[in-house]
Amino acid sequence: MAATSLLRTSTTCPVDFEPPLPHSARSLQPVEGVPGAYLLAPVLSRGECEQLIAASEALGYAPKKSRRAGPPIRTNTRLLYEAHAGLSETLTQRMRPHLEAIDVSSVGQWRLAAGSRLLNERWRMNRYAAGEQFFPHFDTGYALGRDCRSLLSIILYLNDDFGEGETVFFPGGQTRDHMLPGDEDAREVRIRPTAGTALVFHHFGPLNPRHSGLAPIPDPRPKYVIRTDVFYTRTPPSGSATLFGRSPGAHRCVVLLGPPGAGKSTQLRQVSQALGYTGIDFGHCVRTELARSSELGARIQQFRRKRAALQDAAFGATTGAQRRPAGWLPDALSLELLERQLGPLGPTAGLVLDGFPRMRSQSNFLEGNRWEVLAAVHLKVDDATRAERLQGRTLDPATGQPFHSRHVPPGSESAVTRRPEDAPESVKARMVDWEQDTHPLLEHYAKRGVAVEVDGSGSPEAVTRAILHSLSRRLLEEATPLFPAPLAELLRDASTDGVNHSSHLDSLVFRYQPPSGAALYLKLAPPWGAPLKAEATFLSSESARQLALQVPVLRGLFTLGEDVQALLTEELSGTSAKQAAQACTHDPERARLVHNLAEALRTFHRAPPPGGMTDYAIPVLLRRARERLNRGEVPSRNFTAKYGPPLEGPEALARELDRLERAAQALAEGPRVLLHGDPCLPNFRVDSHGAFTGCLDLSGVGSGDRYWDLALAHWSVQHNLGERWAEAFLGACCGEHLDPDRLSFFAGLRRFLV
């Protein structure tokens, strides 16, 4: 096949336009059966169409070379044409008043682009000869930045003197190879071309229809059409919505993609916990709904029985050589089930999705105004690894969650079950479905700019780290265009790997290495996150200079996207105290480390607190905890076993906070001291002899009871060195004066506030 024709243009306008018609002479009519699709006529006169056909033939058509794997999606010839300004301006004037009537609110608050930028000036002029067609597909569109993108497709028909050649819509989303006689999803809506008429429809969001262009019978000549796009702009979202996913009524989501055995179920659990998101295993949701014998489950079962009967009627009871179409649930049924999972979560919950979307038609629904896809993660795994995982996959009978037979909980060996889907014959069929239906999503998300590929063959922990690193790099890609000029200049020649060094859900920390000098750390925080202005104030204060510990050198405080604070500091010398703890091999080293940590905290607690710092008074902390709980802002991961007694669900958390409020009544306010706020081991630096030399991450610095600091430092030592050394740390800090009730109170309260 010849290469695609080069981009062509013309020095003069190729059309001598006729006198303009009044706007009332044109009509915008909805296409029945295809929501969001319209016919606008007349846009061009027949004479104007003929001039465009002649001009395009003079420039020349050529086949388009497909970049996609597999068979070509189209067989016609085309011409890429940079439309003359006269053409774009005239079509814009004729179409704008009618395009304003099209509702695009399903994908957010967008408005038609101003001026002549309304239409994509790069036209795709298509010529269809006998037997040439455009197979069923979805349009993708173009993004000209975060806040300008195309939302509508335009097919402008230039002639109609041929047979057949209709544009066909598939409102049910099914392609022809899925269609079965009697299948309600197998609907077609056919549009007969009329010269000068524009077919307008969505190509971004839930109204994006699958469609095709049928081959014409060229009598007397081929079919000619122009394909272009309608651009929209929007007011830029806040920096916090862009970087931290907190936009009104929207879910930020991470989509996991991969063939059977890629490890999606494992990563769903681990990534959702690491991000503080809710994980939704769509296949597990289907199985749960069926087991509940609910009304929705009954409709799912009814669909499956009907689908099986249709398949048997079309292909016979045995598969044979011809592939039976995949039995995916209809989009409407899938969406109803997904909505049922979202009901209890609240509008701004972050999600990790496995099993939805499974095919291209479903991906459109994640482009609505309620969704923001941060990344579509492709877990790439070789066949041998997949086979080993599938052979060992079992189900927990209590929860229905899958795990490998090597990790069966003690005492449960006889109770585990295998999923029917993991039988060898079923896996073969699922692999075909992956290749034909789900794998095309990788190309789609690559075009959207959110696709990332991760090697899924490593250990679960290594794969999780790789996924989190890829997500942090995606966030840095979003953050960089928001940098104000002074910050961009400071980082202009510095390099970064894009890895987020923060363990907190409400902050991002990236390390930059300039060509010379100390490395720089850029910390980003939303309005509800770490108070970076307070940290900048403290770093510049006399109290910081009087500490016996070094603090980072402040390079600047900035604002991104109106409401995200950005703090730039120089890297402290020395080694992380966490790394030093992990490197300890003998008890004397561990004893010295916990003693030095206790002394570092005493250094803080003896310093005079400057004014204007965070207030850690008990009533203030309890009020903040209650507000966060009521707003659904308390991360579920804070109540996993890693951070204390595990608790699950809003009711359990509410009871725990009630208990703390009662306990506070018996606690008097302790002496107020200068608090570090986040004194875990990673936030201290030590020298080669183990002496604590510096402290960082001081956004939580404030004034309050020293047990606020002791509670987190105690947990950090316990997590890194064990219970014995956590008790030794308390002994070094408090001796015989330890107040265990006060320590327990602040340890419990921190889980609501960190």
SS3 371: strand
Of 635, 532, 607, 20, give the one whose Cα is nearest residue 272. Answer: 635
> Annotated binding site for AMP: which residue ranges?
287, 355-358, 362, 419, 430
| Residue 525 CA, distance from chain mean position | 19
How far apart are alpha carbons 635 and 528 in whole angstroms? 13
Q: Contact 598/719 with Cβ under 8 angstroms?
A: no
Binding-site residues, in ranges, read 261-266, 287, 355-358, 362, 393, 419, 430, 458
Taking the CA atoms of residue 524, residue 528, residue 532 and residue 535 in that order, the dihedral angle to the nearest 10 degrees is -140
Beta pairing class for 692-695 and 684-686: antiparallel
Decide: 318 and 341 in contact? Cβ < 8 Å: no
299: left (phi over 0), alpha (psi -120 to 50) or beta: alpha
Say which DSSP state 515 is in.
Answer: S
What radius of gyration, in Å, describes the C-alpha atoms of the chain? 31
Quickly tell me which residue has 């980003």 as its tokens. 524
Q: Rounded CA gap, 303 and 297, in Å?
A: 10
User: Whole-angstrom Cα distance, residue 536 to residue 540?
Assistant: 6
- Identify the three-state secondary structure at position 558: strand
| Cβ count within 10 A of residue 163 | 11
Spell out the SS3 assignment of 103-156: CCHHHCCCEECCHHHHECCEEEEEEECCCCCEEEECCCCCECCCCEEEEEEEEE
Burial (CB < 10 A; 0-12, 13-18, 19+), residue 671, is exposed
* Binding annotation for ATP: 261-266, 393, 458
Under 8 Å CB-to-CB from 220, ≥6 apart: which residues? 161, 162
What is the amino acid identity at position 77?
T
Long-range contacts of range 113-117, CB-CB < 8 Å, 24 or more positions apart? 113/148, 113/231, 113/232, 113/233, 114/233, 116/85, 116/88, 116/89, 116/92, 117/231
Q: 47-67 b/e with 16+ CB inside 10 Å = b?
A: ebbbbbbebbeebebbbbeee
Q: Can you tell me the distance from the alpha carbon of 16 to that of 19, in angstroms, rounded to the nearest whole number?
A: 10
User: Are residues 385 and 406 in contact, defined by beta-carbon separation less than 8 angstroms?
Assistant: no
Q: Which residues lie below 8 Å from residue 369, measured CB to CB, with a gap of 6+?
A: 105, 106, 107, 108, 109, 249, 250
Distance, in Å, from the CA atom of 148 to the CA atom of 522, rounded to the nearest integer, reads 28
Q: Which amino acid is at 312?
A: D
Neighbours of 416 (CB within 10 A): 16
- Which of 696, 711, 697 is CA-nearest to residue 741? 711
